[in-house]
Amino acid sequence: MARTSGSHAAKTAPRIRAAAIRLFARHGYAAVSMRQIAGEVGVQVGALYNHTADKQSLLLELMEGHLTDLLAACDRADSPDGPVAALEAFVRFHIRYHAERPDEVFIAYMELRNLTPENFARVQTLRRRYEDRLESILRAGIAAGAFRLADARIGTLAIIGMLTGINTWFRAKGRLSLADIEAIYCDMIRQSVGA
Amino acid sequence: MARTSGSHAAKTAPRIRAAAIRLFARHGYAAVSMRQIAGEVGVQVGALYNHTADKQSLLLELMEGHLTDLLAACDRADSPDGPVAALEAFVRFHIRYHAERPDEVFIAYMELRNLTPENFARVQTLRRRYEDRLESILRAGIAAGAFRLADARIGTLAIIGMLTGINTWFRAKGRLSLADIEAIYCDMIRQSVGA
DNA sequence: GTCTATAGATGGATAGAC
DNA sequence: GTCTATCCATCTATAGAC
C-alpha cells in the first residue's frame, strides 16, 4: 500500500491485514465481508479502500507477504552440510515457522482458488521457489547416495504435504508438544527417504 | 432426500448433488450460489428446494455421502495379514480411491469450516473412523515389532496428510502415472514407519 | 483518512400458480 | 416438481462532506 500522510495511516493498513488474516483463516475469503473486516479494525467500510484497491488485492497481498517472508526466513536459517543434516534442518525450520503463523499458512494454501488467474500464477511461483529448497536437498542426497528415494520431485511433494498437514490438527494444548511432534516427524521423514 | 412421486424426482436430486460437487470443488462453497447450481442442472432456483432443505444441508449431504462411501469401500477392500502388507494395501487403496473422486475429496477437507458446529462434528466422526483404520495397522505393526515408529496417532496423521496432498497436485497428464506415484509413495511410507 | 450514504448487484429462501 | 415472481438481507465499491 502506498504511504499516506494522514494521522492513522501507518497503523490502519497493518491492522487491516491482521484482521483479514484472522477472518479469512477462520471463515474463508468468500465468506468474509469487507464490513466484517472494517468492524474488526474499528473503522467504516469506506476507509478500507484507502489502503487496498479491492478485496482481491487484499488477499493477494496477504499471500505474497506470507510467502515472501517464508522464503526470506528460510534463506536466513542455518543449512548445515550434508544431505541428512540439511533435511533435518529444513524439517525443523518448516515446522517451527509454520506453527507460529497458522492463519497465514491456512490462507496461503486454502484460498488459492479464490485468486484471479494472474494472481494465482504469482503465488504459485513463490510457492514453487520454497519447494525447490527442499527438492535441492533431496537431489543432493540422492546424488550422494545418502538417500534411497526414487524421485526427488515426488519426494518433495510428499514431505511438504506431510508437513503442511500438521497445521490442520496441531493444538498447543494437545497430548504432545510441538517439540515432540518435531522429533517424530524428523524420524519419519529421515526414514522415508531412506537416510 | 425423501423419495418423491413426481416425474423427474428420481433424476433431479442426484444431478443437483453432482452439480454441487463440481461447483463447490471448483469455486468453493461460499462462492457458489444456488442459482449457479440450478443453472448447471437446468432447473430454476426454487426447484432445488424440493430436494434439499437449504444450502448447508446440501454441503453436509455431499460430505457425509463421500465419507460413508469411503468407509464402505475401505471395509470391502482386501486387508492382507501382517502389518507391512496391510499398510501397503491401505496406501494403494487410499491413492486409487481418492484419485477417482478428486472433487469429493477436495470438498470433504476444504469446506469443513463452512459446516455448522453440529454438522462439523458429524463429519469429523466419520473422518476419524477412516483414520482409525490406518491407526490400527500402525499400532499392530508397532506391537509386533515390525515398525520403528514412535507414535501411532502422529504417524497416522503424517501419512494421511502425505496421501491427501496428492490430490492437490496430481494431474493424469503429468510426468508420472498414478501407478508410478503409488509405487513411490508405498516405498516412502513403508520406509517412514521403519518397516 | 475517515465518515455517512448510497448505488447497483447478487445472495438465500419462499409463495403460489400450474 | 417445476415454474415465475418476489421478499429481504447483504455484498462490493464509490461519492462527496468533513
Query: Which residues does chain A have within 8 Å of residue B165's beta carbon, measured at their own beta carbons?
Result: 157-158, 160-162, 164-165
All three cell numbers of A61: 497481498
Q: Give chain A's residues under pLDDT 70.
A: 1-10
Instruction: Give the model's pLDDT for residue A10.
Output: 64
Architecture of the domain defined by A1-52: Orthogonal Bundle (1.10)
Query: Do B192 and A194 make contact, defined as CB atoms within 8 angstroms?
Result: no
A162, A181, A184: best to mutate for the B interface, most B CBs within 10 A:
A162
Question: For residue A160, what are the CA distances in angstroms to A55, A109, A140, A175, B20?
Answer: 29, 12, 17, 23, 30
Task: For CATH 1.10.10.60, list the domain ranges present in chain B.
Answer: 1-52
Q: Cβ of A116 < 7 Å from strand D? A: no
Range 114-153 of B in CB contact (< 8 A) with A: 114, 148-151, 153
Closest by CA to B159, choosing from B126, B195, B107, B124, is: B195
B151: left (phi > 0), else alpha (psi -120 to 50), else beta?
beta
Range 9-68 of A in CB contact (< 8 A) with B: 26-31
B194: left (phi > 0), else alpha (psi -120 to 50), else beta?
left
Task: For CATH 1.10.357.10, list the domain ranges present in chain A.
Answer: 54-192
Instruction: For A34-87, write each residue's pLDDT tens digit.
Output: 999 999 999 999 999 999 999 999 999 999 999 999 999 999 999 999 999 999
Task: List, as one string, the DSSP characters of chain B.
Answer: -----SSSHHHHHHHHHHHHHHHHHHH-GGG--HHHHHHHHTS-HHHHTTT-SSHHHHHHHHHHHHHHHHHHHHHHS---SSHHHHHHHHHHHHHHHHHH-HHHHHHHHHSGGGS-HHHHHHHHHHHHHHHHHHHHHHHHHHHTT----S-HHHHHHHHHHHHHHHHHH--TTSSS-HHHHHHHHHHHHHHHTT-
Distance separating alpha carbons of residues B184 and B108, to the nearest angstrom: 25
Q: Which residue is nearest to nucleotide D6 (CA to C1')?
A: B46
Q: In tens digits, what is the pLDDT along chain B, a chain of 195 residues? A: 444 444 455 699 999 999 999 999 999 999 999 999 999 999 999 999 999 999 999 999 999 999 999 999 999 999 999 999 999 999 999 999 999 999 999 999 999 999 999 999 999 999 999 999 999 999 999 999 999 999 999 999 999 999 999 999 999 999 999 999 999 999 999 999 999
Query: Do B185 and A27 make contact, defined as CB atoms within 8 angstroms?
Result: no
Instruction: Give the model's pLDDT for residue A6.
Output: 44
All three cell numbers of A57: 488485492
Task: List, as one string, the DSSP characters of A31-97.
Answer: G--HHHHHHHHTS-HHHHTTT-SSHHHHHHHHHHHHHHHHHHHHHHS---SSHHHHHHHHHHHHHHH
Query: Do B150 and A184 make contact, defined as CB atoms within 8 angstroms?
Result: yes
Could you tell me the fold of the domain covering A54-192? Tetracycline Repressor; domain 2 (1.10.357)
Instruction: Give the model's pLDDT for residue B10.
Output: 65
Q: Cβ of B6 < 7 Å from strand D? A: yes
